Structure 1
Amino acid sequence: MERIYIGMGSNLAAPEQQLRCAIDALAKLPETTLGGVSAFYQSDSLLPGQPRYTNAVAALDSTLAPLELLDALQAIENEQGRERLERWGPRTLDLDILLFGDRLIDEPRLKVPHYQIHLRAFVLYPLAELAPASLQLADGRLLSDLLTTCPFVGLERLTTA
Structure 2
Amino acid sequence: MDADLSINSLVKVTGSTALLGLGSNLGDRIGWLYYGLARLGGHSDIRIEAVSSIWSTPPVQAAGGEFLNIAVRVNTSLNAHELLQAVKGIEAETGRSGSLSDARRLDIDIIYFGDSIIDESSLVIPHPRRLMRSFVLAPIAEVCGTAVDPVFKTRISELAYLKLPGLIPSATRVFHPGWHGSPRSGKFG
TM-score (norm 2): 0.77
- Contiguous gaps of at least 5 residues in structure 2: 1-14, 181-189
Distance in structure 2 (CA, Å) of the matches to 1:13 and 1:66: 29
Using a 3 Å threshold, how does the CA distance of structure 1 residues 49 and 8 change in structure 2: closer, same or farther?
A: closer
19, 25, 34: which is aligned to 2:39? 25
Deviations 1:79-126 (A, max 9, x none): 112123x32221111100000001101121110000000001011110
Q: 1:36 aligns with which of 50, 54, 57?
A: 50
Check conservation: 1:38, 1:127, Cα contact below 8 A.
yes
Distance 1:48 1:54 in 2: 13
Structure 2 SS opposite 1:82: coil
Query: Which residue is equivalent to 2:122?
Result: 109
2:104 maps to which residue? 91
* Residue 155 (structure 1) aligned to one of 171, 175, 178: 171
Higher relative contact order (CA 8 A, sep 6+): 1
Number of the residue aligned with 2:85? 71
Matched, 1:5 2:19: yes
Contact 2:23/2:69 (8 A) holds in 1: yes
% same residue: 26
Tell me by how many angstroms 1:48 deviates. 7.6
Aligned counterparts of 1:36 and 1:76: Cα–Cα separation in 2: 19
Aligned residue pairs: how many? Answer: 159
- Whole-Å Cα distance in 1 between the matches of residues 132 and 153 of structure 2? 13
TM-score (norm 1): 0.90
Report the Cα distance in structure 1 between the residues aligned to 2:101 and 2:70, rounded to whole angstroms. 18
Aligned counterpart for 2:149 among listed residues 118, 133, 137: 137
Ranges in structure 1 where 5+ consecutive residues have no aligned partner: none
- C-alpha distance after superposition, 1:20-53 (max 9, x if no partner): 1100011011222111110111110113863110
Q: What residue number does 2:136 align with?
A: 123
